[in-house]
Amino acid sequence: MTAAADRPARSRSGLRRAVRWAATALVVAALAWWALPLQFGGRTGYTIVSGHSMDGTYHSGDLVVTRRASRYRSGDIVVYQVPTGAAGAGRHVVHRIIGGSGTGWVTKGDNNPAADPWHPTDGDIFGRARLRLPGAGRILLFSRGPFGFALLAGILAALAVLAKPDRRPGEQADPVA
């Protein structure tokens, strides 16, 4: 085959590769935008469940992913911050909205007999629960500790040392024909 006849096949192959790369980049960008945390201007929150007030729905150690919403309603499970000036101020709570009042939302844990003493407003709510990752919170907490961090660093170092290179040091890659 001549070089001229081979050119269209290579250009189609290059075009397909570029389209695949662009599609992958678009998907990764969309996922990154969707998952951008609230702290960085995104609409997604991540909360590790601690306690038993939502047993039956969530369990201690679960990771709950939330999305900020324009409106909330009764029945929504939300993560909110205990309002400033209230006992427990600043604490994050994962509970269900059971009603509304003039001073904010009435919330309650699914496993609690009574409503919460706090009445968070829309401004106190980080978002509506969208996804539960069972036990993922425990993994995150472990990895943030010194032993977990050292273990992760050791695994990455071992992978780097044991990874088999594609070619020997000093060897040149095959030229493209």
Residue at 14: amino acid letter: G
Write down the pTM of the prediction: 0.65
Question: Which of 86, 85, 119 is CA-nearest to residue 102?
Answer: 119
Residue 132: Cβ within 10 Å count = 15
Q: What is the mean pLDDT of the chain?
A: 83
Query: What pLDDT shows up at residue 83?
Result: 82
Say how far apart CA 112 and CA 135 lie, in whole Å: 22
Percentage, residues of the chain above pLDDT 90: 38
Instruction: Please say whether the structural domain 39-133 has been given the CATH code 2.10.109.10.
Output: yes
| Helix, strand or coil, per DSSP, at residue 61 | coil
